[in-house]
Chain A
Amino acid sequence: MLSFLIWIPILSAVIIGFLPGKLVPASRIRLVSLIVAGIVLCWNLFILLKFDISTPGMQFEEYLPWNETLGLTYQLGVDGLSILMLLLNSLLTWIAIYSSDKETERPRLFYALILFISGGVAGAFLAENLLLFFLFYELELIPFYLLISIWGGEKRAYAGIKFLIYTAVSGAFILATFLGTIFLTGANSFAFDAVSTQNISAGLQLVLLIGIIIGFGIKIPLVPFHTWLPDAYVEASAPIAILLGGVLAKLGTYGLLRFGMGMFPDAWTVVAPTLAIWGAISAIYGAVIAIAQTDIKRMVAYSSIGHMGYVLLASASSTPLALVGAVAQMFSHGLILAILFHLVGVIEAKVGTRELDKLNGLMSPIRGLPFISALLVLSGMASAGIPGLTGFVAEFIVFQGSFSAFPLPTLLCVASSGLTAVYFVILLNRTCFGKLDNNLAYYPKVMWAEKIPAIVLAVLIIFLGVQPTWLVRWSETTTTAMVATIPPMEKTVVAQVVVK
């Protein structure tokens, strides 16, 4: 059942890539891949319907022996941590394909790579074997590199290679830790259920956990490892940026939760305070740097760093509520970033610039882009954490859950949430409001087709903001079960204080 999520996109990518031109003309490729992505999305929704939210463990498990010598098994399963990420992946793939330019050059390769990535990401979220996860994780490397460096902006070659090297280094870290973990546990299989870190000494656990944090921290990205992100996000075309920010970053946080917290609960409590501060610094840094940007895509890119900081804070706190918040924040950040990048892409296509100094008065009802601007206001608000939208719900749960554990970092994050509002107001002020330049303002019309992805996302953002149960109900049992494995750090600290 789950295998379809991986293999439908990958096989159709191969077929699209090799299809003879006579059979399906290049102009139809987009339609074909849209249909494929649609099928996958429907299948994902179907799985979501069948998903039993009361069981904490893996569901719909699949197992095939693959390579015994390596301990590599084809083992899939989905739980509360991954189900929303899967949905996000297939939804954003569909939107990315939909929002891609109809006249893309070399459409065959373009859509094949996107579908390939979609299958690979689904595989990484589904894998129940460390090596299988790593395989799918590395599978994203080359397609993304090609997508950035073929269909990107001006500095795409630089951005592409930078992304490639950072991600490859991240992969090396992750592989080293996986090999180390399995070797130290003495298991002869990389399957999740064979891994138990109980008998690893605390010092080694810490070393391994740090390896995992650095490996996934590059992908998330956390502050000192983030320098690939602005280049890659800005140089990538809008649909690719949606996939990069919406899906790939989630792979990092998912990996951190699943492998960092899931495999090393004891060491996790040791590093948690550092991680909380780290997350807060990330959030503040992202917001402050975003304020200084003059390019709207860059602003959105840095906003992504800030928002991922919240996820780190929530994972560090590891209270049941905070973890639910982390998953919710991952999902809602995916939606918000996707709509922002889509809108920025539309604005760039219509107006021809992304500079804050040149954009002006897009809200103007007749000659501007009023509908797009309205959606931009909405999504900016969602990103800044205005109630009634999904961003607020997620952030509020995160703050509520984290405050008991780490009050100061939480306050810092609240402050950075305020700063987020600041730079989005700057952005909206400089783009949507003001007056149109009479000499330049002859923008092409925005087609309905270009509005649809944004409308879909906006509806989702509002719906989940008003009815947040649908955002959090999937992950509750799983995250509660995860928290149960973490040794209660706060209590011991409190107890010591009381004794004194």
Chain B
Amino acid sequence: MDFANLTSQLNAGTILPEGIVIVTLLGVLIVDLILGRTSSRWIGYLAIAGLVAAIGALYLQWDATNPISFTGSFIGDDLSIVFRGIIALSAAVTILMSIRYIEQSGTALAEFIAILLSATLGGMFLSGASELVMIFISLETLSISSYLLTGYTKRDPRSNEAALKYLLIGASSTAIFLYGVSLLYGLSGGQTELDAIANGIAAANVGQSLGLVIALIFVIAGIGFKISAAPFHQWTPDVYEGAPTPVIAFLSVGSKAAGFALAIRLLTTVFPLVADEWRFIFTALAVLSMVLGNVVALAQTSMKRMLAYSSIAQAGFVMIGMIAGTEAGYASMVFYLMVYLFMNLCGFTCIILFSLRTGTDQIAEYSGLYQKDPLLTLALSISLLSLGGIPPLAGFFGKIYLFWAGWQAGLYWLVLLGLVTSVVSIYYYIRVVKMMVVKEPQEMSEVVKNYPEIRWNLPGFRPLQVGLIVTLIATTIAGILSNPLFTLANNSISNTAMLQATILERTQVSAISTQELEEL
């Protein structure tokens, strides 16, 4: 193998965005070592600049002619680009939030950002990974960084407990995932690349053997943990409550997007033989997540815990698109994750802002807030209503697209359940709005009565404000002006060779089966 051929096979330009993130990560660490705490004034902006540059690089790679790189272990197709973009963007907004939050907790900012960037890196690699070892390594990079982030505020016992819980559950679910992956390696006769595994399994003629089904279930256990689908969700409420809020913001968007990217790539490529089986399992997960997430969220008193259950429920909605398995289904997933980024990060920014000013995040303490902080009230209301799917906000269009795609694929009961649980979700989202907006001045909580004067010029508040306003505007208008996002989501699916093949196969199969039905 001559050198030129090797270079073309490596095709290392595909991971330029990740390269930029790595350089930024190292830059952040080194600057911190050299300058110490004094650098914390601008180090956040350095990291954001790096992430923005990475997103720019992703943009340039859109519709790359030769997406396969590293001899097949990484694919830079449009699907991976969309997911890598979502993850990088969520990291950028998370940094905007965390500058003040981490400073206030008395820990080092640069260290935090460095771990956050490595989590981002893990997530971005996971989105494009198409080889078992690569998938596992990037998954572990993401997970280990997440454990560290969860326990970052070391002096807070709740944060410690959350980290321990997350670590124990995470490590065991990764082990289960690893076991499933090793089964795949064995079943396919020693292949590690996803395509080759699929071919190997098909060639070995094991069909829908027990081994394949066990491998599938073990893999889904790992994926379900990342996207916090019930019944793999138990860590979510506790971790969300204990971990630093910016970390939660990242976990709920970035980490979840990475989980969905992995799910799409792994399940559609490796398990075409048991496609009906994994659709069935995901249907069960979606039903459980929608019901449990939405119903249990009704009974929460802590804002972060409520959003934890809400994020379980939202994962259930997203799974509808995945079960549909059509082009519109996958596109609706991507679109929903994009708008989910704006709504959730906007909501979490408000929660951070409130807890920075008052030091609490109990729902009851928000009462009467509109008088003291109208901007915060507006932004939190809009983001929660959008999560509930109220028009004309972004979440409404996201849900409509998911339901429409689900309906087109014949998932009537799932869509109806989604509609019913959406009604339930409106109730607990509006409860917070009611606390903030409806309560009379005399019903104000103690905390709000002593609300500090709003000042944006304190260190670290400007980036929070910028993040808040940008996500607020995006949540408000991303629905009405949704055409570019829709085009992006649709193109990312239609330009992805791997998905096209599966979708085609599926439509053919269903066409044949309907034909058979008609003949009968």
In the complex, the answer to whether B390 meets A179 with C-beta atoms within 8 Å is: no
Interface pair A172/B396, CB less than 8 Å apart: no
The reply to whether the CB of B267 lies closer than 8 angstroms to some CB of chain A is no
Interface residues in A159-198 (C-beta closer than 8 Å to B): 160-161, 164-165, 168-169, 171-172, 175-176, 179-180, 183
Are B415 and A179 in touch, CB under 8 angstroms? yes
Mark B400-433 against chain A: 1 for CB-CB distance below 8 A, else 0: 1101100110001001100110110011001001
Contact A183 to B408, CB < 8 A, known contacts A69-B331, A70-B397 = yes
Chain B residues whose CB sits within 8 angstroms of the CB of A109 once the complex forms: 437
Complex-state Cα separation, A109 to B392, whole angstroms:
18
Segment at the A interface, from B26-34, B39-47, B227-235, B482-490: B482-490
Interface size class of A (residues with CB under 8 A): 20 to 34
Highest count of chain A CB atoms <10 Å: which of B390, B391, B400, B433: B391
What chain A residues lie within 8 Å of B385 (beta carbons)? 142
Interface string of A128-145 (1 = CB under 8 A from B): 000100111011011001
Contact between chains at A175 and B486 (CB < 8 Å): no
Give the complex CA separation of A70 and B487 in angstroms: 11
Known A-B contacts A139-B391, A179-B404, A183-B407; A172 and B422 likewise in contact (beta carbons under 8 Å)? yes
Please tell me if the beta carbons of B396 and A175 are within 8 angstroms of each other in the complex: no
From A136, A139, A142, A161, B427 is in contact (CB under 8 Å) with A161
CA distance A175 to B385 in the complex (A): 18
Cβ-defined contact, A168 with B391, below 8 A: no
Q: Nearest chain-A residue to B431 (Cβ)?
A: A161
A149 and B396: CB pair below 8 A? no
Nearest-Cβ distance from residue B352 to partner chain A, whole angstroms: 24
Would you give the shortest CB distance from B425 to chain A, in whole angstroms? 10
Partner of A135, one of B391, B427, B438: B391
Which residues of B (302-332) have their CB < 8 Å from a CB of A?
328, 331
Decide if B391 touches A138 in the complex (CB within 8 Å): yes
Q: Which of A387-437 contact B (CB under 8 A)?
A: none
B434 within 8 Å of A by Cβ? yes
Say whether, besides A69-B328, A69-B331, A164-B430, A146 and B423 are in contact (CB < 8 Å).
no
Q: Which of A75-123 contact B (CB under 8 A)?
A: 109
Interface contact A164-B396, CB-CB below 8 Å? no
Chain A hits for B423, CB < 8 A: 165, 168-169, 171-172
Whether A70 and B404, one on each chain, are in contact in the complex, defined by CB atoms closer than 8 angstroms, is yes
What's the least CB distance linking B214 to chain A, in Å? 37
Chain B residue numbers with a CB within 8 Å of A36 are none
Q: How far is the CB of B83 from chain A (nearest CB, A)?
A: 19
Contact A172 B420 (CB under 8 A): yes
The number of chain B residues with a CB under 8 A from chain A is 32
User: How distant is the Cα of A206 from the Cα of B385 in the complex, in angstroms?
Assistant: 33
Residue of B nearest to A169 (CB): B423
Complex CA gap A68/B483 in Å reads: 8
In the bound assembly, the distance between CA atoms of A67 and B335 in angstroms comes to: 13
Q: Which of B403, B412, B426 contacts A168 (CB 8 A)?
A: B426
A150 at interface (Cβ–Cβ under 8 A)? yes
Cα A142 to Cα B381 in complex, Å, equals: 11
Q: A150-B438, A180-B407 are in contact. Are A135 and B392 (CB under 8 A)?
A: yes
Q: Report how far A138 CA is from B386 CA in the complex, Å.
A: 12
Is the C-beta of A157 less than 8 angstroms from some C-beta in chain B? Answer: yes
A139 CB contact (under 8 Å) in B392, B400, B420: B392
Task: Give complex CA distance A175, B402 in Å.
Answer: 13
Asked if B408 and A164 make an inter-chain contact with CB atoms under 8 angstroms apart, the answer reads no
- B437, chain A: closest CB distance, angstroms: 6
Write out the residue numbers on chain B whose beta carbons fall within 8 Å of the beta carbon of A68: 483
Q: How far is the CA of A172 from the CA of B423 in the complex (A)?
A: 7
Q: Tell me the minimal C-beta distance from B446 to chain A in angstroms.
A: 21
Among residues of B, the one whose C-beta sits closest to the C-beta of A71 is B404
Quote the shortest CB–CB distance from A225 to chain B (angstroms). 14
B400, A131: Cβ atoms closer than 8 Å: yes
Determine how close the nearest CB of chain B comes to the CB of A88; give it in whole angstroms: 23
**Nearest CB on A from B394, distance (A):** 13
Nearest-CB distance from B431 to chain A (Å)? 9
Structural contact, A175 and B401, CB atoms closer than 8 A:
no
**Nearest A residue (CB) for B410:** A183
| Residues of chain A contacted by B392 (CB below 8 angstroms) | 135, 139
The answer to whether A70 touches B407 (Cβ under 8 A) is: no
> Which partner residue on chain B sits nearest A134 by CB separation?
B391
- Knowing A69-B490, A138-B391, A139-B392, say if A172 contacts B331 (CB, 8 Å): no
Query: Cα distance A153–B482 when bound, in Å?
Result: 40
Residue pair B396, A135 in contact (C-beta under 8 Å): yes
Report the minimal beta-carbon distance from A154 to chain B, rounded to whole angstroms: 13
Q: What is the CA–CA distance of A157 and B433 in the complex, to the nearest angstrom?
A: 12
Q: Cβ of A161: which chain B residues have Cβ within 8 Å of it?
A: 427, 430, 434
State the CA gap A142–B404 with chains docked (Å): 23
B331, B396, B401, B486: the one contacting A138 at CB < 8 Å is B396
Residues of A within 8 A of B403 (CB): 175, 179
Partner of B486, one of A69, A136, A139, A157: A69
| Smallest beta-carbon distance A226→chain B, Å | 19
A160, A175, A180 — most chain B CB neighbours (10 Å): A175
Q: Which of A70, A141, A165 is B401 in contact with, Cβ under 8 Å?
A: A70
Shortest Cβ distance from A231 into chain B, in angstroms?
A: 16
Q: Bound state CA distance, A202 and B179, in angstroms?
A: 53
* Contact across chains for B438 and A142 when beta carbons are under 8 A apart: no
Given contacts A69-B490, A149-B438, A175-B403, contact A142 B415 (CB under 8 A): no
Contacts of A135 in B (CB 8 A): 391-392, 396
Closest-by-CB residue of B relative to A170 is B423
Question: B385, B407, B433 — which one has the most chain A CB atoms within 10 A of its CB?
Answer: B407
- In the bound complex, CA of A37 to CA of B433 (Å): 28
Q: Which residues of B contact A66 (CB under 8 A)?
A: 483
> How distant is the Cα of A171 from the Cα of B400 in the complex, in angstroms?
12
**Partner pick for B419 among A136, A142, A145, A175, CB 8 A cutoff:** A175
**Inside 8 A of B407's CB, which chain A residues have their CB?**
179-180, 183
Closest-CB distance, A459 to chain B (whole angstroms): 37
Bound Cα distance from A139 to B486, whole angstroms: 22
Contact B483 A67 (CB under 8 A): yes
Please name all residues of chain A whose beta carbon is closer than 8 Å to the beta carbon of B401 when the two chains form the complex. 69-70
Contact check, B390 vs A146: say whether CB atoms are below 8 A apart: no
Please give, as numbers and ranges, the residues of chain A lying within 8 Å of B404 by CB-CB distance.
Answer: 70, 179
Known A165-B427, A175-B403, A179-B404; contact A138-B419, beta-carbon cutoff 8 A: no
Minimum CB distance partner of B439 in chain A: A150
Is the Cβ of B390 less than 8 Å from the Cβ of A142? yes
B444 CB to closest chain A CB (Å) equals: 14
Which residues on B sit within 8 Å (CB–CB) of A67? 397, 482-483, 486
For B397, list chain A residues within 8 Å (CB).
67, 70
Cβ contacts under 8 Å, A176 to chain B: 415-416, 419
B438/A138 in contact, CB under 8 A: no
Q: Could you tell me the distance between the alpha carbons of A67 and B391 in the complex, rounded to whole angstroms?
A: 15
Given A70-B401, A149-B438, A176-B416, A141 and B396 contact (CB-CB distance below 8 Å): no
CA gap between A165 and B404 in the complex, in Å: 23
Q: How far is the CA of A134 from the CA of B433 in the complex (A)?
A: 23
In the bound complex, residues from chain B placing their C-beta under 8 Å from that of A175 are 400, 403, 419
Task: Verify B426–A164 contact, CB threshold 8 A.
Answer: yes
Q: Is the beta-carbon distance between A172 and B430 smaller than 8 angstroms? A: no
Which of A69, A136, A145 is B430 in contact with, Cβ under 8 Å? A145
Cα distance, A165 to B428, chains bound together (Å): 11
- Return 8 A-B CB contacts under 8 Å, by A number: A70-B397, A135-B392, A161-B427, A165-B426, A165-B427, A168-B422, A179-B403, A179-B407
16 additional A-B pairs beyond A142-B390, A179-B404, beta carbons within 8 Å, are A66-B483, A67-B483, A68-B483, A134-B391, A135-B391, A135-B396, A138-B390, A139-B391, A139-B392, A149-B434, A157-B434, A160-B438, A161-B434, A168-B422, A168-B423, A175-B400
The 9 A-B residue pairs with the shortest CB-CB distance, nearest first, are A172-B419, A168-B423, A135-B391, A179-B407, A69-B486, A138-B391, A149-B438, A168-B426, A150-B438
Instruction: Give residues in B with beta carbon < 8 Å to A.
Output: 328, 331, 385, 390-392, 396-397, 400-401, 403-404, 407-408, 412, 415-416, 419-420, 422-423, 426-427, 430, 433-434, 437-438, 482-483, 486, 490
